[in-house]
Every structure is written in C-alpha cells, then in structure tokens.
Amino acid sequence: MRDGARYLPDFIGIGPGRTGTTWLHRVLENSVVLPEGTKETQFFNERYKFGLDWYAWHFRRADGSKKIAEVCPYFNHRFARERIKQHLPNCRLICTIRNPVDHAYSVYKLMRHYVWTRTSFEDTLANRPHLDDSNRTALHLSGWFDLFGRENVLVTSYDELRGSPQTYLDRVTNFVGLPRIVLGNDVSLSDDVNAFERAPRNRHLAQNARHVLYWMRDHRAYRTINAAEWLGIWSFCFGRGEPFPPIPPELELKLIQRWMPEIVALENLLDIDLSAWKVPRVARTSRRSASAA
C-alpha cells in the first residue's frame, strides 16, 4: 500500500515466531516485495523509535506493480499490534498456530542460540514467564481479531504447513490476492528449516556476536550480515556445542497439562479440534502409524 511517497506492506505474516515464518518468507520472495536485505525488520516492536521512514526504506524499490509484505513475529506484542493498526489500517494478517509444547521448546532453543538463557528447558520455563505468554495464543489472537476484524486475519496451522505445504500456501495466496505459487522440490519444509540443533560452543563468543549482529541490524548493515552468514560466521559463533535433546516424555505430559486451558481456549475461539495437541508425541505417532496400517 502507498502512504504518500512511501510504500508500506499490504499484508504481514505476524507469526508467532517458530511457526514457519522463514519458510513463508522464502516462498514469497519472487512474488511480492519483501524488506530488502533482511527477513525481519522488527520495526513495530523493537525499532519503532527509528521512525516510519526507516521502515519504508526497506521497501524503497517498490513501484506498485507487486504487493508488499513482511513476515515478522509481531504476534505477542500489543504495542506492535496497535502501531500496525495506526500506520497500516487496511493491512491483512497471517497467523500460524502451533502445538504449545513444541512451540515453547523451539523458542527455548532460539534463546539458547542467542545466549538469552543458559539453563535447562524446565528451569527456563520456571524463570521466564514470557514463554507462557508466547503460548497464550487465544488471548493474543482475540486482540488481533478485535482490532483488525476477524475477516482480515488468516489463521493457519503449523501442522498443515508441515503436512501439506502446497495447501497451506494456497490458503495464504488466496487470502492476500496473489496468483498461485507452485512449490518446487527445493522448497519443501523439513525439520532443519531455520532450526537450531546445537547450543553455542562458546557462550562469550555467542554473546559478543549477538551484540554485533543486533547493532548491524539497527544500522541496516544487511549486506555485511548476509555475507557473514554465507561465510559461516554466525553458525560458528552460535552453534557447534552440545545437541539439544528431545523433550523427556514425563516433562512433555506435564507441559500438556500446563497449557491445556490455552488449547481449549483456542479450540473455542476458532471452533476447531486440537485433540492431537492434548496427547504426547509418542501417542500421536502411534495413532498415525495405526491409521496408516
């Protein structure tokens, strides 16, 4: 959409984070105008102080011939929601829901990756309440519905993205008014899409790298960031440590009970069946195997 001389997004994939946002950004690259040089500007939550011109700079090559979009996890940020409504009142939004246990563990690995925590998954859950807040999907989604109207928010599922990427993508393109994008074999979703398999080997190195990376993002040094990525610098700084283990079954069961009220609230809000989220992964796998037999 155009705001005077500035071009700004027609739609935003608001997340939450760790729900396939990197995959969605990648498959949209040739069909829309995305922020130049980076996937996430984090403008409406972390970098709003830089002003709307700073944000519009990322879409400076837009000429009106393509829709403009960003895929950035603004979902849990109330102020981001209000700022988007202020500046992009007619923006359409895409939200992907994910099993809260899997989602929390994926967020935890991200936190370990950037050295925002050094403790175990269970200890981090006990001491970082924002992990619970990030799983209050029904509450946050209701806020987006109230502000933008339910008809302007597409709710998708990470399970659908994993199980039928083309169907998932067709829903997205239909919703935002894009021609159908046919997925090639090189764009299939797999477990290693922007996944974090290992903790940092050197905590101090990772902390320093994080500070440098965030400084460069503030100053839009995306070419340098991307060159460092291509050279393997970030993976060297943030990886190479101990592999993340699976969630112990007894902890998974405890967490299912912890987030059961949130699962039920989401079922009621969306009028959908999330019974698969109410049983441990082993039980889900057994059910799929039995149905396939």
Q: What is the pLDDT of residues 208-239, one digit of tens each?
A: 999 999 999 999 999 999 999 999 999 999 98
- The number of beta carbons lying within 10 Å of the beta carbon of residue 118 is 12
Average pLDDT estimate for 135-158: 96
Confidence at residue 293, expressed as pLDDT on a 0 to 100 scale: 44
77 neighbors 47 (Cβ within 8 angstroms)? no
CA angle, 137 then 161 then 153, to 5°: 45
Q: CATH number of the domain at 7-197+244-292, please?
A: 3.40.50.300
Average pLDDT estimate for 143-162: 96
Instruction: Please return the burial class of 51, using the count of CB atoms within 10 Å of its CB with bins 0-12, 13-18 and 19+.
Output: exposed
Beta strands in the chain (DSSP E): 2-3, 6-7, 11-15, 69-71, 92-97, 153-157, 198-200, 240-243
Radius of gyration, CA atoms only, the chain: 19
Q: Of 141, 189, 138, nearest to 25 (Cα)? A: 189
pTM above 0.85, yes or no: yes
Query: Is pLDDT of 129 > 50?
Result: yes
Please report how many Cα atoms fall inside a 13 Å half-sphere around the Cα of residue 67, on the Cβ side: 17
Residue 196's pLDDT band (boundaries 50, 70, 90)? Answer: confident
Average pLDDT estimate for 100-125: 90
